[in-house]
Chains A and B, each alone.
Chain A
Amino acid sequence: MPLSFLGNPLTLALLVLALAIAGYALARGRAMARAGGDARKLHSLPNYYGMTAAMFAAVPALGVLVIWLLTQPMMIQNAILPMLPVAAVGERGTDSLILSDVNRVAEGLNIAVAQGVLDPQSIAALREDPSTLRKTLAGVGVALGSDVEPFVLAAAERARDLDARWDMIRAGVVILIALAGLLLAVRAADPAFRARNVVERGIMALLITAASLAILTTVGIVLSMVFESLNFFSQHPWQDFFLGGSWAPNFRGNSELSILPLLWGTLYISFIALLVAVPIGLFAAIYLSEYAGSKMRAIAKPLLEILAGIPTIVYGLFALLTVGPFLVDVFGAGGALSMEGLRDGDPLMSGATAVITAGLVMGIMLIPFVSSLSDDIINAVPQSLRDGSYGLGATPSETIRNVVLPAALPGIVGAILLAASRAIGETMIVVLGAGAIARFSGNPFEAMTTITTRIVSQLTGDTDFASPETLVAFALGLTLFILTLGLNVIALYIVRTYREQYE
């Protein structure tokens, strides 16, 4: 087909943009001509007439293109589903597998045809016995899991057919919309036409769209996780997830998937992290805001904040390769504090990955987080409160302990909650430093696992999106999202109410 290049969405988009530019020139020229070449007779600056045309040509057409691109795969799937034999689809979950086979075969055929390995005649010849197709497709770089069954090939051919046809229809519709918009705007280009108002309304619509994208992201997060979680709960009892006692995924079925041991590990590690970060961060903030001279502040504050700018993968590696082995040297077999004598020769710590490893390193990461938030809050306490306290003869530390901190307390609580939410959602440090064993234990020298670690392990590698062992990751993610969101909302609420107190 000579026009088949229009099937490529990128080419189509470029064509629409070219039309928009042409529209710009046409509309601007027409408006100027109508005004007799005197821009003062126009309602708006000449460029606005051009922009109107460009906007009318490009925006609706590109919008339709994007929506079409998103829906076409689904429409085609719906069209080929009835072609698949009932027996093959009958088993729950396998229809998506067959569909992905069909998609891969169709994709492979496309590549093979493009490279000239296959042509329509040879594909037709394959219909009876498609057993050689797997090898052919492997030759062009599309590896298939099994031999191609005849009905898969038929469906793939139909999918290709529909795809090609709808690509052309799409091109036609998009170009028509672009042309219609262009004509409309060029015809309207008249000195009395309020082009600037139209353009500004259009820009405003774009701005609003951009702002609502934030909402869309949240909706996307929630919907994607809710749907998959519902899917999970339809295959796995919710009682086990929320109330069960053990985490033992088994890809052959009969898994025990309870969030409780993971939640315990998460909270334990976060608790240790806060135990490190809160005192250090808080005292650092107090010193920096109440005692330190401007010179020390100028040096120490940015240095501390470097800790916050270091990527978490670095902390993860630090935990796994430096802190963990160091702790094993101290608390492990033969270490100074291994307590082997008290524990029948059993050292306190046996491996580098442990709750304490991850907790300590996460604590270091959170120090600047706590200190800079608390710093802001302490600075927001009005000077008059301090002056009053000094006037009564209190020392600076007494002032801080009895006046400044109580006044800043709600804000500091908010800061700690934010730090906790960050600790709960932290992934890389625990993936590398905490271990992979789900258990309820109070011993911080043992390896434990967390919600985020399990999400990573259930969703990486070869995963089948129909099994509860994979889907559980979405339920875990949803729980994590709700947990951190709750903490954030409470923290922000506390911080905000507190701020209003003194403003």
Chain B
Amino acid sequence: MTHTSLLKQDARTAKRNRAETRFQAYGLIAIGIGMLMLMVLLTTIVSRGTGAFQQTFLTLDVTLAAAKLDKKGERNIEDIKKVSTFGYKPLLVDAFEALVESGAVQSDLKPKDMAGILSKGAEAQMRDAVLADPTLIGQTVSFDFLASGRVDGYLKDRVTRESIVNDKNISSEQLDLVDQMRDAGVLGKKFNIAFITGSDSSDARPEAAGMGVSMVGSLMMMLVVLALALPIGVAASIYLEEFAPKNWITDIIEVNISNLAAVPSIVFGILGLAVFINYMHLPNSAPLVGGLVLTLMTLPTIIISTRASLKSVPPSIRDAALGVGASKMQSVFHHVLPLAAPGILTGTIIGLAQALGETAPLLLIGMVGFIASNGPETITEGLMNPNSAMPAQIYEWAKRADPAFYERAWGGIIILLVFLITMNFIAVMLRRRFERRW
């Protein structure tokens, strides 16, 4: 055997050490990939979604000519209502004509084509303003109109002059006009509150679509989930954790709950469709049905976390209560449950957050593809009237043909994630604040 120094590694040791380094590197690379994916995902969402909160508006002075809007001149609201949005179109054309005459912009386009850079909802916007305040008739009013989705895309670099060659919704001349108006300061991007508060729009008006109504739908569903899943989940957990005898029935229930937690969410959608809609004839697309389905889906999560927090209350508490003469039921409801409450609440919030982001079952009960133009006025309406939900609305936008809707889908995701982050943050705070180590 040759002498080797202890200070110098032999070939075999060096090899083993290299293997060790490699192995560690694999682990680091794996974590790195995970982090990288998270970063890519989050940057994609933020970079592609923030645009939805900004929208291109065009400020235009429109003369609300009495000759067009109120021929009789009596300012009778019924007469004014008879003028449809179609009747407001000439006013827009006139406004653009005036703009050219004033020399602010130069264009060879016909004024009618100039109006094509506006959203198709511009006429309705004027009509609503007039119906709200008929005294406006005869005056020249400055409106902030939404620009059409294509113009908005042009300002956001989604639409380029090359990409619109075959696009009949917008022409290169119209974009020249847009450039001039932008330079003149009458056209530009502004914060768009309507994206957060508004309702979905038809395929032709991506610029007007908003999340507001589907947010109400989600809120209604969460109310249902909270009202049903929390009491039922807590009751079931109390029974299983504190009272249930160890026998085969309890075993079945336990196995059942852990399996239900892993059943694909779409199966709950099928259940909802078959039982709540086909059998019980509850209304299609109603947040009530969505809430019921999500309740069934969330129950296992809530039961599992509630049982964990009941289990973490030390037996000495129960023994002490029993020792001073409380019944078993009293010891649970008066002592164990209040001590477990923060944990239960945390678990419930996390369960709700899960339910809030769930999409698949909602597709089956029809909470998609429905355009609710107004929010519900009462809670019953909110529960029973067809509505969408935030994730279903995002899905709906993702499926549409116009890329302008993709931006809205990403923007919707930002809103959805803000809700989820807030809920999880509250859950973490609750845990930090109230967690007890026994």
Contact = CB atoms under 8 A, between A and B. Distances in A.
A and B: interacting chains: yes
Given A218-B256, A460-B364, A318 B44 contact: yes
5 contacts: A204-B329, A210-B233, A311-B358, A427-B264, A460-B368
Interface residues of B, number: 88
A60 to B, nearest CB: 18
A432 B34 contact: no
Given A395-B16, A425-B265, A484-B264, A287 B357 contact: no
Q: Which of A220, A428, A465, A485 has the most CB of B within 10 A?
A: A428
Given A283-B30, A460-B368, A455 B263 contact: no
B286 interface: no
Nearest to B392: A313
Given A214-B236, A314-B416, 4 more contacts: A310-B357, A312-B358, A314-B413, A318-B41
Contacts of A418: 262
A303 B24 CA distance: 20
Contact of B238 (A207, A280, A371, A473): A207
Nearest to A210: B235
A397 B28 CA distance: 13
Contacts of A477: 266-267, 270
Contacts of A214: 236, 253, 256-257, 260, 299-300, 303
A397 B20 contact: yes
Contacts of A211: 235-236, 239-240, 244, 253
A224 B275 contact: yes
B320 interface: no
Q: Which of A211, A311, A397, A424 has the most CB of B within 10 A?
A: A211
A427 B266 CA distance: 7
A311 B420 contact: yes
Nearest to A425: B264
Nearest to B259: A488
Interface string A184-206: 00000000000010001001101
A274 to B, nearest CB: 15
B392 to A, nearest CB: 8
Given A304-B31, A460-B363, A312 B357 contact: yes
Contacts of B262: 418, 421-422, 484, 488
A307 B391 CA distance: 17
Nearest to B17: A395
Interface string A320-332: 1110000000000
Interface of B: 16-17, 19-20, 22-24, 26-31, 33-35, 37-38, 40-41, 44-45, 48, 231-233, 235-236, 238-240, 243-244, 252-253, 255-260, 262-271, 273-275, 278-281, 296, 299-300, 303, 327, 329, 353, 356-360, 363-364, 366, 368-369, 391, 394-395, 398-399, 406, 409-410, 413, 416-417, 420, 424
Contacts, number: 253
B364 A224 contact: no
Q: Which of B27, B28, B296 has the most CB of A within 10 A?
A: B27
A385 interface: no
Contacts of B278: 465
Interface string A285-323: 011100100000000100110110111111011101110
Contacts of B252: 215
Contacts of A215: 252-253, 256
Nearest to A315: B41
Nearest to B239: A207
A432 B395 contact: yes
A221 interface: yes
Contacts of A221: 263, 267-268, 270-271
Q: Which of B34, B45, B278, B424 has the most CB of A within 10 A?
A: B34
Given A314-B45, A432-B398, A303 B35 contact: yes
A318 to B, nearest CB: 6
A214 B279 CA distance: 20
A225 B274 contact: yes
B264 A426 contact: yes
Nearest to A196: B327
Given A395-B20, A459-B270, A452 B417 contact: no
Given A200-B329, A395-B16, A465-B278, A307 B34 contact: yes
B24 A210 contact: no
Contact of B34 (A368, A400, A455): A368
When A and B form their complex, which 4 residue pairs have the shortest distance between CB atoms, in order from nearest?
Answer: A425-B264, A287-B27, A311-B357, A224-B274
B270 A455 contact: yes
A196 B333 CA distance: 13
B253 A212 contact: yes
